[in-house]
Amino acid sequence: MNTRNKSSRVGPLASKAETGPALDIDALLDDPGTSIVVCCGSGGVGKTTTSAALALRAAERGRKVVVLTIDPARRLAQAMGIETLDNTPRPVPGVDPDARGSLDAMMLDMKRTFDEVVESQASPEKAAQILANPFYVALSSSFAGTQEYMAMEKLGQLHKDALASGRWDLIVVDTPPSRSALDFLDAPERLSSFLDGRFIRLLLAPAKGPARLMTAGLGVVTNALTKVLGAQVLRDMQTFVAAFDTLFGGFRQRAQKTFELLQAEETAFLVVAAPEPDALREAAFFVERLGAEQMPLAGLVVNRASRLSLSGLSGEQALAAAERLGPGSTTSAPAGLTAGLLRLHADRTRLVARERRLRRRFVTAHPRVPTAVVPALSTDVHDLDGLRLVGQLLAG
């Protein structure tokens, strides 16, 4: 759980694979054994749209679905009826009821989720004390990783609710927009190790007694800290740590449970990427990491792939033809139209070739990862019809 490095690669070591297996989205969604689908990937690759589209498709194929989104585009959130951030799943209007499925959606409110955990774990007075502490405010609203941690926390809660109430049989989770897809898996560990850190133990030590030996060193440290931060900061810190300490055992346990849930067979990870070097590199790291954590990978979704509408005319041929047409020699109106079409095609050919090259590299390194390629749409997705279309494209 603590291999936070990207230094060692995992792969076939020698491979000439050019095409990997296709990812069968419908089989995945229809399988009653699938009860959690987690969409991960680096920021800006279309995770939110993908998770919403998968959830809608599953619901319209008969599953009782809840989708946890992190930060949907405003219009999409409106279309799904979740523009108010209230941390509660609500039914999405306009879902086709023929297959007797249902779709609820919610948007994660990170701070509120954190507050609720504190409130559920501590006595009212203690909870109030924690919620008001400036360190808690900082931790709950902007600690790098809190969003990931809270997404996991919420997933755990939804799963518990689903089991208890039978309201849902499939949970689709979007993950926070981070630079690195690995953040989602690392955040809980990061928070744990932070709250478990040596310094926190030290701050608690005087209250707990036995760490006498360290007090001399601690004096130097607190003096230095007081110099830099001021005495009041240190006092706040100590109050916070003391108040939070008793709570933290609970936090750890919950994180551990969610982590185990992610390793269970009922979970399926979909790694989402765009056909760009950075996104595919992140996807590769994530795929390897899932393997190391024994987490079930369902496949890779490559969004926004460029495609060609015609064959038999290479980019070079198109450019050469455009050149030959030159200015003035064309019969078409508007002027230069045909040459423009040809150059457009040449440009697209280059883009397609580049993306294909990038994808092939991924396949060579990860020949067994089933992949779905979703062509780029020429319009934005901001309503259920758009999501349906994406769902169809995902299903191939």
Residues 265-324 that bind another protein (CB under 8 A): 274, 276-277, 279, 308-313, 317, 321-322, 324
Distance CA 331, CA 261 (A): 66
Count of residues interacting with another protein (CB under 8 A): 81
How far is CA 363 from its chain centroid? 22
Q: Which residue has the tokens 């309201």?
A: 167
Say what angle helices 198-208 and 231-263 make with each other, to 10 degrees.
120
**Binding-residue pattern over the window 318 to 357 for another protein, x denoting contact by CB under 8 A:** ---xx-xx---xxxxxx-xxxxxxxxxx-xx-xx--x---
What's the closest the beta carbon of residue 83 comes to another protein, in angstroms?
Answer: 13
Within the chain, residue ranges assigned H as helices are: 25-30, 47-60, 74-79, 110-121, 124-132, 134-142, 146-165, 183-195, 198-208, 215-229, 231-263, 277-292, 315-325, 337-365, 384-395
Task: For the CB of residue 312, give the shortest distance to another protein in the complex, in Å.
Answer: 6
Give the list of residues 6+ apart from residue 116 with CB closer than 8 angstroms, or none.
87
**Binder of another protein out of 57, 154, 190, 359 (CB under 8 A):** 190
State the pairing for strand pair 36-40/297-305: unpaired
Contact 205, 100 (CB under 8 A): no
Q: Among 94, 111, 180, 367, which residue interacts with another protein (rule: CB under 8 A)?
A: 180
Please report how close the Cβ of residue 363 comes to another protein at its closest, in angstroms.
18
Which CB sits closer to another protein, 20 or 72? Answer: 72
Nearest to another protein of 102, 239 (CB atom): 239
**Shortest distance in whole angstroms from residue 6 CB to another protein:** 10
CB of 179: closest distance to another protein in angstroms?
6
Q: Output Rg (C-alpha) for the chain, integer angstroms.
A: 26
The angle that helices 110-121 and 124-132 make with each other, rounded to 10 degrees, is 150
Residue whose CB is less far from another protein, 47 or 159: 47
CB-hemisphere CA count at 13 Å for 89? 23
| Minimum CB distance to another protein smaller for 124 or for 334 | 334
Rounded distance, CA 174 to CA 157, Å? 15
Least distance from C-beta 251 to another protein, angstroms? 15
Which of residues 12, 22, 194, 385 is near another protein by CB under 8 A?
Answer: 194
For the bound state, the minimum distance from the C-beta of residue 88 to another protein, rounded and expressed in Å, comes to: 23
Binding mask 12-51 for another protein (x = CB under 8 A): ------------------------------xxxx------
User: Where does 41-159 show beta strands of DSSP type E?
Assistant: 64-69, 90-91, 102-107
Selected from 228, 294, 327, 328, the binder of another protein by CB under 8 A is 228
Strands 267-273 and 64-69: unpaired
Closer of 104 and 355 to another protein (Cβ):
355
Among 5, 8, 294, 378, binds another protein (CB under 8 A): 378
Helix (H, G, I), strand (E, B) or coil at 89: coil
Q: Which stretch binds another protein (CB under 8 A): 98-106, 122-130, 162-170, 176-184?
A: 176-184
